[in-house]
């Protein structure tokens, strides 16, 4: 029974038992009913079978709903079957047809229909079961043209269709037309202060300073607003503000998630990449390409996009192969979810186990898309960026300077005996000197003739005392410590081998730098020495790889070292200066050589991708090649396509102007960032289960404008914030409210609360304590960066902790103690749009937290330092800083009285908790 082979053994047994019991019931019933049909009678689908489906089945498996993915009112869907069972009807074999197995089951959990045992209950009667069995055995003939429903074309969906040309050339024309259709009109224009605060919070996430408010209000130039917008778009604060929207969507965090939730120490370069991309107005199509294939463009940090989701570490995955395969499928699923939702606005991840229930995405589409990522692994990689490329160029300059110094030193050394070194033994004798430090610096080394290596290698370095009984004081067993410029490490080559007393290449030190390096021995105490001995390999098994140019120094302190060899006496002072310069260069080279890392995509040979039955990695079917969903295009690659080519091909298809989804999805996200909700409310679901656009023509016009502008995100901001639509007041019109309570037609500006990060940043900005330091590892919001030790919140912040909240070390699945209550995502799931809740915890946190108290005190101190001694003047200044306006007369009186009785910091605390401070005007 083929249909049973893909099910758990328990289910197989129950179904086999059910079949046996059903056959017994049928035989018994037919023996008692001599009028029953004979098995050989011909069954007509329309007359005999279709009524059974209509009576018992289509209420759950018809046009309205399809439980378990099964539909029985259309031929093609009925034969295709539901989730996990394969074809539900196998013509000619009732025994192999899941449909028959389910209607004959005696297990109430699996029997269909699930409403009683035949013939007493409401399930199928014995005669109906007999009809189905005969129909299947006779070939399951289902004639064409008899279906009473038609299959809906799921590709016939607005978001899958090409964009339509717009009839207008401005946002306001589209909005005004829609308003007129509904008998509505624009609200009055917002006053200048309101507009200014709105655009400041929208574009940079910070309030304007009192001087900026005053300057704008008094600016009567016709392009005053354009000047403000250009200044804000040019501010580094803009990228910090808008990067947060994107990081919400892709689930960025600085920990791995799940139970252990360990830190991702190098996740932050991706966060900084996104900020820089927005600040630089990186064309969105390039933004897409770099995140999917940044390694091809020297943008390794961008590949952090591929792995922003939670991930199990190797130690958290079962050691059996089945667990590893399942974990691999889970990690690939997260990449597909990020890619499809962020760029395409489609929930393709739903097709992992079965065809998508709503959209024209098949299970084969899912695995064809997965094949593009068949070589992507979660991990760390070297970080290349404009900054690191500049550092690399700097490193090359330093190395060139070092080489020039080496050449000048070689001239000072002359043709002395120290140039003639031997692999087996070398001695350097000198007048006795008191030393605690001995440094051996290699400036050049000869080439290994067969291996082509020029890393200096020393099997043992000995330092002997002067006097009648010399002894080697360099041995580690005597307490001598050794450091080096850098060591190439293997089982044969380790730094500790250089003074372990064991000779031979198998116990030697090798520099990690071609042709040069140094070792420094710190003796346990100051000792009189007069000789050093070293060798390449005293067993003499390998050819020479010893220094041809070196310097020997010794002294009681590092600063007092004397040059003991290799330089003629008349050049000693000059050599010392150049070697000191060389030493400083070596430090700078060592620092510049430290390769930064990013937690991003790690790329390997792609593994084969298989269509998986029911999404189960233990049930692979046929192998699939990389291809985009059939409903959206025809781009595909061969099974053996190279790894990077796969991701680049996918990125080019997504970023193509002809893709019907990409531009629409991004301009909708930008619109949402300004109005709180997109033209399509479900901003990561442009599929059939998502919302339809309120203004479809405007959405398409914006998408076309986006592409024509060179995919400029800043261009879209200009269009929006300089529009009449955006510049309206939030004044409520009761008639308009009765027609459109949510203002989806934008008859007024929809006011909303500021996001958690913006509230925190604004408080710091107003108090004067905000740090504008950028880039790098995040500051701590908790006493732990991850793991199992819990997350005690940090309540008081100084220094780095006063940076903008986007620069915090974000703990996945752990909300920040104060501002987490303000609907701040925890990166457990993608947050396409921040819903706004109102809870008592928000008010309690914001009024009583240590953070609010400290910022209130800081604001009071700032006001008192610059606002004079008069309490009313101080209150006025506090209002200007926090709200951008002077207090009304009654506000001033009340606040001044509170300040006199409870202190100015109490007034500041109230201002931070006011709706006017917390809401976008």
- The DSSP code sequence of 218-264 is T---TTHHHHHHHHHHTSHHHHHHHHHHHHHHHT--SB--TTT--B-
- pLDDT digits over 387-396, tens only? 777 777 777 8
What's the pLDDT at 571?
A: 64
Read off the pLDDT of each residue in 651-658 and give the average, rounded to a whole number. Answer: 98
The helix or strand, by DSSP H or E, that contains position 752, with its residue range, turns out to be strand 752-753
Give every CB contact of residue 293 below 8 A, 6+ residues apart in sequence.
303, 644, 647, 648, 651
Tokens linked to 430: 């000198």
pTM: 0.75
Q: How far apart are CA 18 and CA 22, in angstroms?
A: 6
% of the chain residues with pLDDT over 70: 89
Nearest of 913, 887, 343, 881 to residue 663 by alpha carbon: 343
523 — phi, psi (to 5°)? -75, 155
Half-sphere exposure for 176 (CA within 13 Å, toward CB): 10
What's the pLDDT at 30?
A: 39
- pLDDT digits over 740-760, tens only? 999 999 999 999 999 999 999
Q: Where are the alpha helices (DSSP H) in 166-234?
A: 171-181, 192-204, 210-217, 224-233
Tokens linked to 158: 């607005």
Q: How far apart are CA 442 and CA 448, in angstroms?
A: 16
- pLDDT digits over 353-381, tens only? 988 888 999 999 999 999 999 999 999 98
Is pLDDT at 771 greater than 60 in this prediction? Answer: yes
What's the pLDDT at 536?
A: 84
Band of residue 420 on the pLDDT scale cut at 50, 70, 90: low
Structure letter (DSSP) for residue 685 = -
What's the pLDDT at 813?
A: 93
Would strands 919-920 and 752-753 be described as parallel, antiparallel, or unpaired?
antiparallel
Q: How far apart are CA 510 and CA 493, in angstroms?
A: 6
Q: What SS3 class is residue 369?
A: helix
Q: How far apart are CA 897 and CA 879, in angstroms?
A: 15
Structure letter (DSSP) for residue 110 = T
Q: 869 or 69: whose pLDDT is higher?
A: 869
Q: How far apart are CA 340 and CA 356, in angstroms?
A: 13
What's the pLDDT at 453?
A: 53
Read off the pLDDT of each residue in 196-215 and give the average, rounded to a whole number. Answer: 98
Band of residue 516 on the pLDDT scale cut at 50, 70, 90: confident
Is pLDDT at 892 greater than 50 in this prediction? Answer: yes
Let me know how long the chain is.
921
Band of residue 107 on the pLDDT scale cut at 50, 70, 90: confident
**Is the preceding omega at residue 113 within 30 degrees of 0, hence cis?**
yes
Is pLDDT at 56 greater than 50 in this prediction? Answer: yes
Q: How far apart are CA 306 and CA 39, in angstroms?
A: 60
Quick one: how far is CA 826 from the chain centroid? 13
Nearest of 493, 503, 410, 481 to residue 453 by alpha carbon: 493
Nearest of 109, 44, 100, 40 to residue 72 by alpha carbon: 100
What's the pLDDT at 108?
A: 79
Half-sphere exposure for 619 (CA within 13 Å, toward CB): 14
CB 362 within 8 A of CB 355: yes
Tokens linked to 305: 């996009």
Quick one: how far is CA 263 from the chain centroid? 14
| Mean of all residue pLDDT scores within the chain | 88
Band of residue 450 on the pLDDT scale cut at 50, 70, 90: very low
Q: How far apart are CA 883 and CA 867, in angstroms?
A: 16
Q: What SS3 class is residue 793?
A: strand
Q: What SS3 class is residue 706?
A: helix
744-764 burial, b at 16+ Cβ within 10 Å, e below that, comes to bbbbbbbbebbbbbbbbbbbb
Band of residue 183 on the pLDDT scale cut at 50, 70, 90: very high
Read off the pLDDT of each residue in 760-778 and give the average, rounded to a whole number. Answer: 97
Structure letter (DSSP) for residue 506 = G
Nearest of 607, 601, 604 to residue 324 by alpha carbon: 607
What's the pLDDT at 561?
A: 84
Q: How far apart are CA 215 and CA 226, in angstroms?
A: 14
Q: How far apart are CA 431 and CA 416, in angstroms?
A: 18
Read off the pLDDT of each residue in 193-217 and give the average, rounded to a whole number. Answer: 98
Read off the pLDDT of each residue in 41-69 and give the average, rounded to a whole number. Answer: 89
Band of residue 135 on the pLDDT scale cut at 50, 70, 90: very high
What's the pLDDT at 506?
A: 83
Read off the pLDDT of each residue in 724-738 and give the average, rounded to a whole number. Answer: 97
CB 127 within 8 A of CB 32: no
Read off the pLDDT of each residue in 277-288 and give the average, rounded to a whole number. Answer: 98
Read off the pLDDT of each residue in 44-62 and give the average, rounded to a whole number. Answer: 91
Nearest of 494, 503, 498 to residue 480 by alpha carbon: 498
Is pLDDT at 302 greater than 70 in this prediction? Answer: yes
Burial of 550 (0-12, 13-18, 19+ CB in 10 A): buried
What's the pLDDT at 542?
A: 56
What's the pLDDT at 119?
A: 44
What's the pLDDT at 117?
A: 44
Is pLDDT at 5 greater than 60 in this prediction? Answer: no
CB 136 within 8 A of CB 641: no
Band of residue 68 on the pLDDT scale cut at 50, 70, 90: confident
Is pLDDT at 417 greater than 60 in this prediction? Answer: no
What interhelical angle do 210-217 and 871-883 show, nearest 10?
A: 80
CB 462 within 8 A of CB 454: no
Is pLDDT at 28 greater than 50 in this prediction? Answer: no
Point out the least confidently predicted range of 503-512, 626-635, 881-890: 503-512
Nearest of 135, 172, 164, 151 to residue 50 by alpha carbon: 135
Q: How far apart are CA 472 and CA 449, in angstroms?
A: 32
Tokens linked to 30: 């037919």
Q: How far apart are CA 56 and CA 569, in angstroms?
A: 108
Q: What is the 3-state secondary structure (H, E, C) of 387-436?
A: HHHHHHHHHHHHHHHHHHHHHHHHHHHCCCHHHCCCCCCEEEEEEEEEEE
Point out the least confidently predicted range of 107-116, 428-437, 672-681, 750-759: 107-116
What's the pLDDT at 647?
A: 98
Give every CB contact of residue 222 below 8 A, 6+ residues apart in sequence.
none
Is pLDDT at 723 greater than 70 in this prediction? Answer: yes
Nearest of 162, 23, 262, 405 to residue 813 by alpha carbon: 262
Q: What SS3 class is residue 606?
A: coil
Point out the least confidently predicted range of 34-43, 77-86, 197-206, 727-736: 34-43
Structure letter (DSSP) for residue 914 = S
Burial of 183 (0-12, 13-18, 19+ CB in 10 A): exposed
Point out the least confidently predicted range of 231-235, 426-430, 649-653, 717-721: 426-430
| CA 209 to each of CA 111, 626, 884: distance values in angstroms, whole numbers, following the listed order | 70, 53, 7
Q: How far apart are CA 613 and CA 677, in angstroms?
A: 38
Give every CB contact of residue 472 below 8 A, 6+ residues apart in sequence.
462, 463, 464, 478, 501
Half-sphere exposure for 372 (CA within 13 Å, toward CB): 26
- pLDDT digits over 137-150, tens only? 999 999 999 988 88
Tokens linked to 365: 């589409």
From the CB of residue 775, how many other CB atoms can be counted at a distance below 10 Å? 13
Structure letter (DSSP) for residue 748 = S
What's the pLDDT at 544?
A: 57
Q: What SS3 class is residue 66?
A: strand
CB 757 within 8 A of CB 806: yes
Is pLDDT at 878 greater than 60 in this prediction? Answer: yes
For residues 322, 324, 325, 326, the Cα torsion angle rounded to the nearest 10 degrees is 90
Point out the least confidently predicted range of 438-452, 505-519, 805-819: 438-452
């Amino acid at each position: 029974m083929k249909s049973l082979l893909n099910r758990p053994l328990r289910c197989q047994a129950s179904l086999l038992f059910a079949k046996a019991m059903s056959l017994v019931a049928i035989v018994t019933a037919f023996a008692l009913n001599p009028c029953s049909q004979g098995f050989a009678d011909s069954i007509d689908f329309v007359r005999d079978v279709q009524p059974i489906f209509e009576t018992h089945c289509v209420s759950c498996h018809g046009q309205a709903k399809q439980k378990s993915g099964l539909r029985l009112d259309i031929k093609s869907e009925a034969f295709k079957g539901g989730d996990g069972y394969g074809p539900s009807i196998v013509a000619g074999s009732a025994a192999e047809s899941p449909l028959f197995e389910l209607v004959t089951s005696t297990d109430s959990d699996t029997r269909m229909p699930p409403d009683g045992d035949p013939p007493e209950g409401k399930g199928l009667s014995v005669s109906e079961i007999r009809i189905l069995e005969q129909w299947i055995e006779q070939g399951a003939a289902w004639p064409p043209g008899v279906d009473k429903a038609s299959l809906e074309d799921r590709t016939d969906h607005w978001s899958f269709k090409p964009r339509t040309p717009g009839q207008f050339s401005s946002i306001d024309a589209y909005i005004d037309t829609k308003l007129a259709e509904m008998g509505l009109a624009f609200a009055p224009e917002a006053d200048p202060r309101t507009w200014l605060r709105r655009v400041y919070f929208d574009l940079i996430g910070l309030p304007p300073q009192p001087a900026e408010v005053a300057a704008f209000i008094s600016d009567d130039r016709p392009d005053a607003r354009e000047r403000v917008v250009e200044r804000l778009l040019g501010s580094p604060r803009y990228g910090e503000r808008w990067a947060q929207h994107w990081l919400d969507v892709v689930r960025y965090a600085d920990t791995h998630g799940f139970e252990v939730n360990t830190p991702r120490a190098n996740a932050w370069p991706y966060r900084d990449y996104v900020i820089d991309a927005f600040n630089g107005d990186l064309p969105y199509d390039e933004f897409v390409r770099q995140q999917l294939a940044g390694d091809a463009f020297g943008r390794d940090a961008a590949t952090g996009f591929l792995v922003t989701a939670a991930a199990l570490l190797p130690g958290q995955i079962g050691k059996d192969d089945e667990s590893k395969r399942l974990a691999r499928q889970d990690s690939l699923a997260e990449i597909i979810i990020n890619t499809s939702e962020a760029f395409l606005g489609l929930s393709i991840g739903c097709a992992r186990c079965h065809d998508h229930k709503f959209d024209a995405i098949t299970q084969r589409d899912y695995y064809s898309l997965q094949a593009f990522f068949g070589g992507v692994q979660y991990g760390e990689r070297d970080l290349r960026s404009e900054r690191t490329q500049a550092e690399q160029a700097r490193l090359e300059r330093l190395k060139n300077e070092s080489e020039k110094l080496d050449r000048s030193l070689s001239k000072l050394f002359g043709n002395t005996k120290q140039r003639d070194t031997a692999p087996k033994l070398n001695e350097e004798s000198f007048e006795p000197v008191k030393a605690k430090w001995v440094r051996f610096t290699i400036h050049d080394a000869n080439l290994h003739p067969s291996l082509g290596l020029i890393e200096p290698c020393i099997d043992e370095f000995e330092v002997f005392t002067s006097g009648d009984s010399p002894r080697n004081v360099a041995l580690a067993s005597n307490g001598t410590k050794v450091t080096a410029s850098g060591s190439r490490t293997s089982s044969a080559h380790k730094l500790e081998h250089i003074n372990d007393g064991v000779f031979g290449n198998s116990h030697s030190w090798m520099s990690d730098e071609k042709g040069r390096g140094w070792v420094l021995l710190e003796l346990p105490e100051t000792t009189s020495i007069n000789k050093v001995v070293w060798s390449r390999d005293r067993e003499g098994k390998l050819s020479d790889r010893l220094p041809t140019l070196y310097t020997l120094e010794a002294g009681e302190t590092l600063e007092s070292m004397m040059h003991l060899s290799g330089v003629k006496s008349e050049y000693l002072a000059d050599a010392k200066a150049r070697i000191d310069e060389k030493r400083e260069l070596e430090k700078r080279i060592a620092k510049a050589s430290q390769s930064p890392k990013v937690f991003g995509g790690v790329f390997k040979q792609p593994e084969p991708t298989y269509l998986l039955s029911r999404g189960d990695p233990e049930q692979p079917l046929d192998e699939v090649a990389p291809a985009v969903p059939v409903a959206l295009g025809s781009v595909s690659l061969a099974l053996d396509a190279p790894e990077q080519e796969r991701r680049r091909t996918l990125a080019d298809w997504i970023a193509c102007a002809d893709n019907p989804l990409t531009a629409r999805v991004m301009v909708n996200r930008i619109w949402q960032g300004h109005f709180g909700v997109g033209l399509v409310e479900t901003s990561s679901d442009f599929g059939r289960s998502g919302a339809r656009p309120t203004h479809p023509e405007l959405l398409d016009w914006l998408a076309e404008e986006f592409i024509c502008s060179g995919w400029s995100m800043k261009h879209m901001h200009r269009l929006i914030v300089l529009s009449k639509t955006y510049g309206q007041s939030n004044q409520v019109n009761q008639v308009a409210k009765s027609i459109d309570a949510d203002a989806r037609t934008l008859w007024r500006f929809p006011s909303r609360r500021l996001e958690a990060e913006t509230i925190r940043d604004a408080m710091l900005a107003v108090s004067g304590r905000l740090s504008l330091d950028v880039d790098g590892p995040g500051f701590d919001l908790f006493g732990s960066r991850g793991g199992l030790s819990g997350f005690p919140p940090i309540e008081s912040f100084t220094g780095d902790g006063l940076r903008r909240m986007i620069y915090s070390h974000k703990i996945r699945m752990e909300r920040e103690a104060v501002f987490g209550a303000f609907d701040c995502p925890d990166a457990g799931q993608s947050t396409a749009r921040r819903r706004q809740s109102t809870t008592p915890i928000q008010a309690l946190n914001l009024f009583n937290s240590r953070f609010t108290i400290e910022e209130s005190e800081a604001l009071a101190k700032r006001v008192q330092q610059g606002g004079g001694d008069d309490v009313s003047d101080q209150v006025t200044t506090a209002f200007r800083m926090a709200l951008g306006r002077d207090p009304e007369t009654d506000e001033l009186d009340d606040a001044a009285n509170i300040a006199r009785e409870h202190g100015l910091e109490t007034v500041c605390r109230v201002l931070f908790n006011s709706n006017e401070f917390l809401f976008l005007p």
